[in-house]
Structures are given as C-alpha cells and as structure tokens.
C-alpha cells in the first residue's frame, strides 16, 4: 500500500483515489449522522422538559438551573481531555449523554419563545449551517489560517457573555449575538474542512469512529450556538 495519503495524489492510481474518496464520504456521512441524531435527542429532551411543569419547575425555579446550564460545558472539557483514551463506544455514549444534558439546558427556550418561532429558527439555522458546511467541505481554500482568529473570537464571546450575566446589558447582548453568529458560521466551515483533512484510510476503524464522534461534537456545538443566537433576532416571546 502506498504510505502517502492518496488525497494528495502522489503515486496514487485511480483505484486507490476512488477507494479513498469513498472512505472519506462514508466518514463524513457518519459525522453528520451522529450530529443529526444528537440534535434529535436534544430537541426531544428540550421539548419534553420545556412542556412539562413537573419537570421544568424543579429545575429552572431552583439553583439547580445553574448545574443544568454549566453541565454541557463540563462535558465538553471532559471530551477534550479524554477523547484520546476513550474507546469508540464510550465516546458515542458520552456524546449521547451530552446531547441529552444539552436538551435539559435548552428546555428554557420553550418557556421563553413560541414553538412556531423556535421551529422557524431551527430551519433557518439548518439552511445556514448546511450551506456553510458544504462550502467548508468543497472549497479548495485553506481555512486553517482563520482558525486561530475564530478561536480568539470564541473566547471573547464567552468572556463577554459571562460579564453580561452580571451587567444585563441589551446592547452588549446584541453585539454578542451578531459577532457570535459570524464566529460560529466561520467555525462551521473551518471545522468541516478540518474533519475532512483529519480523515485517513490508514487509521484503524476505532480511531476513525472516535474522530467521527469528536467531529460530530464540533459541528453540533456550532449548530446549537447559531440556533441560540439567531433566536435573539427571530424568536417571538411567549
């Protein structure tokens, strides 16, 4: 087997290139399927909790709401530090658990916004996400250069959001929403290209499955954040 990755075409014949392309296609489908199923889990949990007073009152009317709000962040850190040592099956289970916990956190949107506006915003987000992710997958432009810039923007948004919890400034929240959408749209293209570039047919099945789970997590987070930020503009309050 040619040890050089056939995506670059050095010494690779048409047959090996076709095999690589098919493997890459299956890998990306796995990533998107994991992400889509994660969104379904999140949506179902959020809808059930947000529509059931017996569930949301003990959560959002007590200090437990802070645990629910911060739990997804803890999952992300856990994933980042442990993904290398996890088995593929453990990574999948952890991802599904994360999506369920995120559903608990997002149940609050059903208490604030109308279901119609939530559905409309979801489809707008899906259309935006799909087009940007397709661009990230098909573009020949190297997007790695904007990765560090986007990460700085992300950290800036996180810090500003924490500050605004105490300030409660509507102007700052508007700025956070606008800049946040731009950052997460950029991250969607960047992460899609990065997931594509990380794939290798020389990896074993276990490694590629873990890459697929972690890639799904990255795209899932971009989608959810775009959705939440867009709600600030398109959502109609109850």
Q: What is the pTM of this model?
A: 0.86
Q: Rounded to whole angstroms, what are the CA distances from 175 to 37, 147, 168, 188?
A: 31, 21, 13, 20
Mean pLDDT over the full length of the chain:
84
Q: How many CB atoms lie within 10 A of CB 42?
A: 25
**Binning pLDDT at 50, 70 and 90, where does residue 118 land?**
very high
Rounded average pLDDT over 120-144: 92
CA distance 41 to 216: 14
Share of the chain above pLDDT 70, in %: 91
What residue ranges do the domains of the chain occupy?
Answer: 6-234
**pLDDT for the residue 171:** 84
**Cβ pair 110, 51 in contact under 8 A:** yes
- What single-letter DSSP state applies at residue 237? B
Helix (H) or strand (E) holding 32: helix 14-50
Q: Collect all residues with Cβ–Cβ distance below 8 Å to 6 and sequence separation of at least 6.
A: 12, 16, 17, 19, 20, 201
CA distance 76 to 180: 18
pLDDT for 180-229, tens place per residue? 999 999 999 999 999 998 886 667 778 888 889 999 999 999 999 999 99
Q: Among positive and negative, which fits the CA dihedral 107, 113, 114, 115?
A: negative
**Statement: residue 109 has pLDDT above 50:** yes
């Amino acid at each position: 087997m040619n040890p050089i990755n056939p995506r670059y075409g050095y010494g690779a014949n048409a047959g090996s290139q076709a095999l690589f392309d098919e493997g890459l296609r299956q890998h990306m489908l796995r990533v998107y399927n994991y992400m889509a199923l994660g969104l379904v889990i999140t949506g179902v949990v959020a809808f059930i909790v947000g529509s059931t007073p017996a569930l949301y009152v003990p959560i959002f009317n007590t200090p437990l709401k802070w645990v629910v709000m911060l739990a997804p962040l803890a999952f992300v850190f856990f994933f980042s530090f442990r993904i290398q040592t996890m088995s593929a099956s453990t990574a999948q289970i952890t991802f599904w658990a994360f999506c369920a916990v995120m559903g608990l956190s997002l149940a609050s949107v059903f208490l604030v916004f109308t279901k119609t506006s939530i559905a409309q915003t979801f489809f707008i987000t899906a259309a935006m996400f799909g087009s940007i992710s397709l661009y990230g997958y098909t573009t020949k432009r190297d997007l790695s250069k904007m990765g560090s810039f986007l990460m700085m923007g992300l950290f800036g948004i996180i810090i500003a959001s924490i500050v605004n919890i105490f300030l409660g400034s509507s102007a700052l929240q508007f700025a956070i929403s606008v800049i946040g959408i731009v950052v997460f749209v950029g991250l969607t293209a960047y992460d899609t290209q990065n997931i594509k570039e990380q794939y290798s047919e020389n990896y074993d099945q276990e490694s590629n499955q873990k890459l697929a789970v972690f890639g799904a997590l990255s795209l899932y987070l971009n989608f959810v954040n775009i959705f939440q930020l867009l709600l600030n503009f398109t959502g109609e309050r109850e």
